[in-house]
Structure 1
Amino acid sequence: MIRYIALGLLCALLGSPAVAQSDEALLDRVQQQTFNYFWEGGEPISGAAPERIHEDVYPQDDADVVTSGGTGFGIMATIAAIERGYISRKAGRKRLQKLAEWLRDADRFHGAWAHWMYPSGKVKPFSRYDDGGDLVETAFLVQGLIVARQYFRKGNKKERELAELLDQLWREVEWSWYTQGENVLYWHWSPTHEWRMNFAVTGYNECTIMYILAAASPTHPIDPAAWHEGYMKDGEIVSNESAYGYDVVLDHNGEQTIPVGPLFWAHYSFLGLNPQGLQDSYADYWELNRSHALIHHAYAVENPREYKGYSEACWGMTASYSLGGYTAHAPSNDMGVITPTAALSSFPYTPDESMAFLRHLYTNHPDYIGQYGPYDAFSEQSGWCPPCYLAIDQLPIPVMIENYRSGLIWELFMSAPEIQEGLKKLDIQKHTTTK
């Protein structure tokens, strides 16, 4: 392993093509590059993940804006980086201690953090009425807090102190407040606009982890009925559709032509939550996510719109930049844009297809790669690839690659007793399986 890491670093320094590297060295290369978005590119006062980094705009007018969900992904990436030897355990612990203290003092709304914040910890409104708690982004952040708590909880005195603070932050989230007394979770609450956003989270999307954490909370839990009646719509969410020979499993909120949504639905909730062997009366979550990724791959191979660049080795759509701004790319919303995180964060589900994409990108398109790994999105059809990054696209990559390589982040999250209790409350069972 040491030999592979050294080879990967040497090739990166020399700018050698990916063909000169082993698979392990190439995985190390992209993991370390994408992790550095958080480690080297992090906002210096808070230690949190910047919402975006643009290499072509300096000074960037919103460079100090941080994102709560992306920060949770960065926390998990930090744990992987410690284990890979990219940073020392002490350095990782110190960075996360600084971040946890900042999160403790930042604006919170019944325990939930805002989507965007300034280095002062004050909320930056995400939209006109979204200037308070964002429960979905908070769930992504808490997923990271629990992973880090489990990692440091049996360490030295300073590590145990950090674990205690991380535990405190997780326990302070008032999940039940966000139900409004109903059997469903609401995405937003603001002290100035209250429930004006009125966004009840129902049906399958990226929010699975929010419901599981809400059920697992030892302090402010929701009734399991919110999961069954709200998110799963009393079973109406179950789908009998298929595409390219793969079962869709759950209804992707009305996606029509090719009935699957953007691939971040298979990533964000499952950075910590291990879908292997995870089943309930609604879904086999491994089959759900693997089919989702394979349908995207098959769609790129078919390439019904005949976009330049789509192939067996160049595939994957998710929410990202596009030629007309940020949008959720999917087979039903295909603009000729490929987003690297879609294939790279699918490594656990599609290792061969994801490796083909990784090698294709680093061998044939070095111009699509910058300081923090692959740029956010590109279109060969339009000759477009801005040198820009987004936290919520870049930081799932090192986490999901680690889950593919060692299962580390999955193991840590699933080891939390509250998570096991939450899954039990929701009648979700974990069966022994292999990747």
Structure 2
Amino acid sequence: MNREDILNIEAKGCFDFFWNEANTDPTSPGFGLIRDNTAADTRDFASIASVGFGLSAIVIGIEREWITFEEGKKRVLGTMKTFWNHAEETEGFFYHFLDMNTAKKYEASYDCASIIDTSLFLNGALTVAEYFGGEIEALFEKIYKRVDWTKYYNEAQNQYFMGYNPETGGFGAWDMYAEQMMQYILGVASPTHGVPARIYDGFERSLVTYGDYTFYNSPGGPLFTHQFSHAWFDFRDVRDADGVDWFANSVAATLAQRQYAIDNPDGRVGYHANSWGVTACQGPNGYIAYGTPPYKEGIIPEGNDGTIAPAAAAGSIAFTPKESLDMMVYLYEKMPELWGRYGMRDAYNLEGETAWFADRVIGIDKGVTLLMIENYQTGLIWELYGRNHYVKKAAEMLGWERVNA
């Protein structure tokens, strides 16, 4: 099996998750909603972040001829109608989890609507708006213009709130670098309820060094924080007003994680040059945002118990193509237990007497893997997202300039 074949097997498995694990009942208020994960006890709730990745996945499926254009368009149009007409929202922001059948806030969901998960959904919606145009684009415009970003803006701190309650206002803060770069794009470009571009200056940039790599790290150090915004916006050769290269930053963060696995200071059984990468994933003790040092002073990470998430490396393939591909080949050849109908399962852990493999895949991990594989191979999602007029406006407002253009 050659390297490209393995890459394509994983990409097709990721797509199949989004295509198959959706509400496909055209009479249902939840048509188009996509499950958060494949565990047997989670069949009733959808993740809006999963839908965002899934909308983009449909474009990839059409271009790779896994589905027809008409099949994809029908699914996307119905999904967009669900989010305009039925999905429960507050000030235009959707809840993290929705009931698969009613599109109302899932009973076990968080207490407030989610700015980051809404942003992930909107990224997917914007992508399909660019691809299909017409009625789908019109629905995106209505959904996007309904979002009141000012409700999540803490003007005094010049930061986004983490959450918002209509009765008590905002709480928490996006005060450090993490996955929220997309929120600045979407928030400043809003034609109806935008936030000032200076919000981009409001979060703390904390440089850390591990071995030969110096980079801005996120709290706790999971790799998804260096991936998610990059799955849609092409940061290659982009510099902000301070000269920061966020693409190079993600490269360094990814290589630092791999080096940590090679160094293996805690003596983990599964760590080596072709078995590396931690992020938020399903571990033996539940869903945990695993990370690696160095950590910001005062940040207490959830730890690392030897669990490795394939999405950490595979979702970084645009940053570290050789290293990520080397790992995927190793996992394909050496760990057949890791592979299933949707490609690689969410995680594995080789500590203890018996190797542990996740019993599920998770939408956001499959999503970032698929989008980054596509961007690595063709640049499709980067091209669609980057040509949108709101994205272009936001980049200009934020002072992001593309060098060597």
- TM-score normalized by the length of structure 2: 0.91
1:54-133 pair list within 5 angstroms? 54=39, 57=40, 60=41, 62-105=42-85, 106-118=87-99, 119-125=101-107, 130-133=110-113
Please report how far the alpha carbon of residue 126 of structure 1 lies from its aligned counterpart in structure 2 after TM superposition: 5.2
* Inter-partner Cα distance in structure 1 for 2:174 and 2:107: 20
Look up the equivalent residue of 2:369 and give its one-letter code: I
Aligned to 1:167: 141
For 1:354 and 1:278, the matched residues in 2 are separated by 23
Question: What's 1:10 paired with?
Answer: none
| Per-residue Cα deviation, 1:93-120 (whole angstroms, up to 9, x for no partner) | 1111111111112111111111010121
Structure 1 residues 294-303 or 424-433, which shifts more? Answer: 424-433
Residues 168-219 of structure 1: CA distance to partner in whole angstroms, max 9, x if unpaired? 212221112211544221122234x5437x1111110111111221012122
Output aligned runs, 1:219-298, within 5 Å. 219-229=192-202, 231=203, 233=204, 237-239=205-207, 241-248=208-215, 250-253=216-219, 261-280=221-240, 281=242, 283-298=244-259
SS in 2 for 1:330: coil
Q: Contact 1:53 / 1:388 at 8 angstroms: preserved in 2?
A: yes
CA contact (8 A) 1:317 1:339 kept: yes
Does the CA contact (< 8 Å) of 1:238 and 1:283 recur in 2?
Answer: no
Task: State the 1:24 CA deviation.
Answer: 2.2
Counterpart residue identity of residue 244, structure 1: G
In percent, how many aligned pairs have the same letter?
Answer: 26
Q: Is the contact between residue 43 and residue 64 of structure 1 (CA under 8 Å) also seen in structure 2? A: no
Cα drift, residue 310 of structure 1: 1.5
Judged with a 3 Å threshold, the aligned counterparts in structure 2 of structure 1 residues 135 and 285 are, in CA distance, closer, same or farther, namely: same
Tell me if the contact between 1:123 and 1:132 (Cα under 8 Å) persists in the aligned partners.
Answer: no
C-alpha deviation, 1:43, in angstroms? 3.0
Q: How far is 1:80 from its partner? A: 1.2
The 5 A counterparts of 1:27-426 are 27-45=7-25, 46-54=31-39, 57=40, 60=41, 62-105=42-85, 106-118=87-99, 119-125=101-107, 130-153=110-133, 160-182=134-156, 183-191=158-166, 194-195=168-169, 198-229=171-202, 231=203, 233=204, 237-239=205-207, 241-248=208-215, 250-253=216-219, 261-280=221-240, 281=242, 283-332=244-293, 333-382=303-352, 383-426=355-398
Structure 1 moving runs of 4+ over 3 Å: 193-196
Q: How many residues align?
A: 385
Unaligned runs of 5+ in 2: 26-30, 294-302
Q: Which residue number in structure 1 is paired with residue 28 of structure 2?
A: none
Tell me how far apart the structure 2 counterparts of residues 372 and 40 of structure 1 sit (CA, whole Å): 10
Q: Secondary structure at the match of 1:320?
A: strand
Aligned to 2:297: none
User: For 2:336 and 2:321, how far apart are their aligned partners in 1?
Assistant: 21
Deviations along 1:77-103, whole A, 9 cap, x unmatched? 111111111111111111111111111
- Per-residue CA deviations over 1:230-282 (Å, capped at 9, x if unaligned) read x2x4xxx152x32121221x2434x5xxxxx1100111111111110121116
Q: Structure 1: how far apart are the matches of 2:90 and 2:398?
A: 26
> CA separation in 2, counterparts of 1:325 and 1:341?
17
1:402-425 CA distance string (max 9 Å, x none): 000011101111101111111111
Q: Distance in 2 between matches of 1:215 and 1:282?
A: 20
Distance (Å, rounded) in 1 between the aligned partners of 2:246 and 2:38: 33
Considering only aligned residues, what root-mean-square deviation do their CA atoms show, in Å? 1.7
Shift of 1:76: 1.1
| Structure 1 unpaired stretches of 5+ | 1-20, 154-159, 256-260
Letter of the 1:245 partner, please give it.
D
Is contact 2:182–2:229 with CA below 8 Å preserved after alignment? yes
Q: Which amino acid aligns with 2:142?
A: Q
CA separation in 2, counterparts of 1:190 and 1:206?
22
In 2, the alpha carbon distance for the partners of 1:42 and 1:165 equals 20
CA distance in 2, matches of 1:39, 1:298: 36
Change (3 A) 1:77 1:361: same
| 1:185–1:126 CA distance, 2 compared to 1 (3 A) | farther
> Equivalents in 2 of 1:310, 1:216: separation in Å?
43
1:345·1:396 contact (CA, 8 Å) conserved in 2?
yes
Superposed displacement of residue 362, structure 1: 1.2
Q: Aligned with 2:361: secondary structure?
A: strand
User: Distance in 1 between the 2:24 and 2:155 partners?
Assistant: 40
Q: Deviations over 1:376-431 (max 9, x none)?
A: 11101231113212111122111110000011101111101111111111112122
Task: Work out whether residues 115 and 126 of structure 1, in 8 Å CA contact, stay in contact via their aligned partners in 2.
Answer: no
Q: Distance in 2 between matches of 1:180 and 1:276?
A: 30
Supply the AA of the counterpart residue of 1:331: T
Q: TM-score, normalised by structure 1?
A: 0.85
Distance in 2 between residues matched to 1:125 and 1:288, nearest whole Å: 38
Which letter does structure 2 place at the counterpart of 1:85? Answer: E
Taking the aligned partners of 1:270 and 1:318, their CA distance within structure 2 comes to 15
> How far apart in 2 are the matches of 1:123 and 1:416?
30
Which letter does structure 1 place at the counterpart of 2:97? W
